[in-house]
Amino acid sequence: MTAQILDGKKLAQTVKEELKTKIAALPSAPALAVIIVGTDPASEIYVRNKEKACQAVGIAPQTHKLPAETSKEELAALIKRLNNTPDINGILIQLPLPAHLNAAEILPLISPEKDVDGFHPVNVGKLLQKDTETFIPCTPKGIIKLIKSAKPDITGLNAVVIGRSQIVGLPVAHLLLNENCTVTVAHSKTKNLPELCRTADILVAAVGKPELVTKEYIKPDSLIIDVGINRTANGLKGDVNFADALETAAYVTPVPGGVGPMTIAMLLDNTVAAYLKQNRP
Ligand code: NDP
> pLDDT digits over 52-61, tens only?
999 999 999 9
| Whether the predicted model's global pTM rises above the 0.95 cut | yes
Q: Which of 136, 168, 239, 264 to mutate to test the pocket of ligand 1 (most atoms within 8 A of CB)?
A: 168
CA 138 to chain CA mean position, Å? 3
What's the CA angle centered on 114, arms 111 and 119, to 5 degrees?
Answer: 75
Which amino acid, residue 164? R
- So what's the pLDDT on residue 281? 82
Minimal CA–CA distance to 172: which of 230, 95, 258, 259?
259
**Contact of 194 with 217, CB cutoff 8 Å:** yes
Cβ neighbour number for residue 182 with a 10 Å cutoff: 15
191 lines ligand 1 (CB under 6 A): no
Omega before residue 261 within 30° of 0, cis: no
Summarize pLDDT for 228-274 with one digit per residue, the tens. Answer: 999 999 999 999 999 999 999 999 999 999 999 999 999 999 999 99
Distance of CA 109 to the CA centre of its chain: 20
Of 80, 94, 87, 76, nearest to 38 (Cα)? 94
Quote the ligand 1 centre to 217 CA distance (angstroms).
17
Is residue 253 within 8 A of residue 6, CB to CB? The reply is yes
Residue from 16, 50, 126, 219 carrying the catalytic annotation: 50
pLDDT tens-digit map of 3-46: 999 999 999 999 999 999 999 999 999 999 999 999 999 999 99
Is 186 touching ligand 1 by the criterion CB < 6 Å?
Answer: yes
